[in-house]
């Protein structure tokens, strides 16, 4: 090969090589680009999945209260509770104006302000959260810790909820929580929320229980409120005039009476009722016993209660309260009080006789109890089973520390009385007028009672029957003093609590958008 040709060949090879190298470089660069794009797409896909999972949203701050941040899940819990309360009122027959089938954000609650139901529920929820938070902060500063009964109440509440939701068709407690409180809610967070609420309740009650008042302060309160605090023994007969506003024609059809016919019938009914009321009053004044008259006139009375004892506060809204409250009343006096509901063609005549008015100096007691349920209409066998369980629980408690604190824990964990569960079965200032079943009251007020006494009491008189495991805490003040102290302490505690959270504002953060 000639030198010139060899040179051309080398030149051709070099060109081809350079071209191939460029192609390879381009291909390599494309691989890098595609690789980078692939990584970006993968990252975006992962980010989208993470976003859809709520990972970021549930970690945002929905509100800040007194320096403490709260996630959307916590606010959602309180929002949901506010809405549930409105739904409950609607179920009870109240016209709330809220339509549960429409998004709360699309429903205006107040036309003038433009406030939606969403705004209302959120505001109510944040108010509750603020109260709980500030009470917790105050408790922490004071070094207050939740007692054993309080922690037991948290645990029992969670377990009772878990059992209830499983019976309602939910696969688990977690399923129920996410369905009702949003996808960000967890069992762990739910327990934290319940614990905070329980601390707030216990701490506030502890504050109230530790307030003390002098005899002079209690006497001054009594003098200003004796109408509510005194005990009245009296009888009342209700004679009612009312009419049917329709009649039946010859063919059996319902026909409305004319206004003239209604009024004529109503006037006749009123005259008859008034005559009956006057007869009863005359016989009472002549010395007849109220119980005998209640039986004699039973077919003409709408209702009657004879020789009943009640605190004045219990009938303060009745038509005859003012007459009974009059300090000039004397034992045996009678009156007829009218209650006009003519718009509904109803007119009541109350025949009232006062037997006595006293300041209740009777003893009161503080007790704890555990109600072991036998059911609403139990058989003898069910009563026996409940008694056996009650005795077993009592024996088990006695084998331990057998003190008030451990009894309170037992009450929280086992009682069927939901009204006293959170307080460890505690009832303070039990008096003969509190409306407990007779055997329960008699056990509490037995003059031989000593602190630490226990026993079993059968309950056949309430909606949930069974056996009460009783624990006597101790004797309290006379009934009127207990009522006066409770009123003063309640008012003072409300003012104290208002001072903790009244001026505190929940600062909304970006996470509030995830509350819905």
How far is it, in rounded angstroms, from Cα 195 to Cα 133? 11
For helices 187-209 and 479-501, the axis angle rounded to 10 degrees is 130
How far is it, in rounded angstroms, from Cα 470 to Cα 476? 17
pTM: 0.82
User: pLDDT of 479-509, one tens digit each?
Assistant: 999 999 999 999 999 999 999 999 999 999 9
Please state the rounded mean pLDDT for residues 320-345.
Answer: 96
Within 10 Å of residue 276's Cβ, how many Cβ atoms? 19
> Is pLDDT above 50 for 287?
yes
Per the structure block, which two tokens stand in for 232? Answer: 């009245």
Please state the rounded mean pLDDT for residues 48-57.
Answer: 47
Burial of 361 (0-12, 13-18, 19+ CB in 10 A): exposed
Contacts of 335 (CB under 8 A, 6+ apart): 281, 320, 323, 351, 352
> Is pLDDT above 50 for 110?
yes
50 or 300, which is more confident?
300
pLDDT-derived band at 30, boundaries 50, 70, 90: low
Please state the rounded mean pLDDT for residues 82-100.
Answer: 94
Contacts of 447 (CB under 8 A, 6+ apart): 363
Closest CA to 387 of 364, 371, 369, 368: 371
* DSSP label of 105: G
Please tell me the predicted confidence (pLDDT) of residue 54: 53
User: pLDDT of 449-483, one tens digit each?
Assistant: 999 999 999 999 989 999 999 999 999 999 999 99
How far is it, in rounded angstroms, from Cα 111 to Cα 280? 54
Do residues 77 and 193 make contact, with C-beta atoms less than 8 angstroms apart?
yes
How far is it, in rounded angstroms, from Cα 477 to Cα 513? 53
User: pLDDT of 147-191, one tens digit each?
Assistant: 999 999 999 999 999 999 999 999 999 999 999 999 899 999 999
With residues binned 3-state (H G I as helix, E B as strand, rest as coil), the percentages for the chain, rounded to 5, are 55, 20, 25
3-state secondary structure of 172: coil
């Amino acid at each position: 090969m000639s030198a010139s040709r060899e040179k051309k060949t080398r030149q051709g090879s070099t060109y081809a090589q350079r071209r191939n190298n460029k192609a390879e470089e381009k291909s390599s660069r494309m691989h890098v680009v595609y690789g980078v794009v692939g990584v970006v797409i993968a990252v975006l896909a992962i980010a989208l999945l993470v976003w859809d999972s709520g990972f970021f949203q549930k970690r945002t701050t929905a509100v800040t209260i007194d320096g403490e941040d709260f996630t959307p899940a916590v606010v959602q819990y309180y929002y949901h509770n506010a809405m549930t309360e409105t739904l409950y009122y609607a179920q009870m027959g109240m016209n709330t104006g809220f339509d549960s089938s429409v998004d709360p954000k699309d429903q205006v609650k107040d036309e003038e302000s433009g406030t939606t139901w969403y705004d209302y529920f959120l505001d109510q929820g944040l108010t509750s959260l603020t109260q709980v938070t500030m009470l917790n902060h105050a408790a922490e500063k004071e070094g207050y810790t939740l007692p054993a009964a309080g922690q037991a109440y948290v645990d029992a509440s969670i377990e009772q909820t878990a059992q209830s939701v499983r019976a309602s068709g939910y696969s688990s407690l977690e399923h129920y929580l996410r369905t009702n409180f949003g996808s960000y809610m967890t069992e762990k967070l739910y327990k934290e929320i319940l614990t905070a609420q329980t601390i707030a309740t216990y701490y506030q009650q502890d504050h109230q229980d530790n307030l003390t008042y002098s005899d002079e302060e209690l006497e001054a309160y009594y003098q200003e409120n004796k109408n509510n605090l005194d005990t009245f023994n009296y009888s009342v007969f209700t004679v009612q005039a009312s009419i049917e506003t329709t009649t039946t024609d010859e063919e059996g059809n319902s026909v409305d009476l004319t206004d003239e016919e209604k009024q004529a019938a109503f006037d006749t009914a009123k005259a008859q009722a008034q005559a009956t009321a006057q007869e009863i009053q005359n016989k009472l004044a002549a010395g007849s016993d109220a119980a005998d008259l209640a039986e004699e006139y039973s077919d003409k009375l709408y209702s009657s209660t004879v020789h009943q004892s009640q605190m004045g506060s219990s009938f303060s809204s009745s038509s005859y309260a003012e007459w009974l409250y009059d300090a000039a009343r004397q034992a045996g006096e009678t009156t007829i009080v009218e209650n006009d509901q003519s718009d509904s063609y109803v007119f009541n005549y109350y025949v009232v006789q006062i037997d006595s008015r006293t300041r209740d100096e009777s003893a009161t007691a503080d007790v704890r109890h555990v109600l072991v349920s036998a059911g609403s209409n139990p058989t003898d066998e069910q009563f026996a089973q409940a008694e056996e369980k009650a005795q077993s629980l009592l024996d088990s408690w006695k084998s331990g520390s057998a003190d008030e604190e451990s009894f309170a824990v037992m009450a929280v964990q086992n009682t069927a009385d939901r009204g006293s569960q959170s307080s460890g079965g505690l009832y303070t200032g039990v008096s003969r007028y509190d409306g407990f079943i007779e055997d329960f009251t008699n056990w509490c007020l037995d003059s031989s009672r000593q602190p630490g006494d226990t026993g079993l009491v059968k309950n056949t008189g309430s909606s949930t029957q069974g056996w009460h495991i009783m624990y006597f805490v101790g004797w309290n003040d006379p009934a009127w003093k207990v009522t006066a102290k409770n009123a003063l302490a309640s008012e003072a505690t409300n003012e104290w609590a208002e001072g903790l959270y009244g001026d505190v504002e929940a600062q909304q953060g970006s996470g509030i958008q995830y509350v819905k």
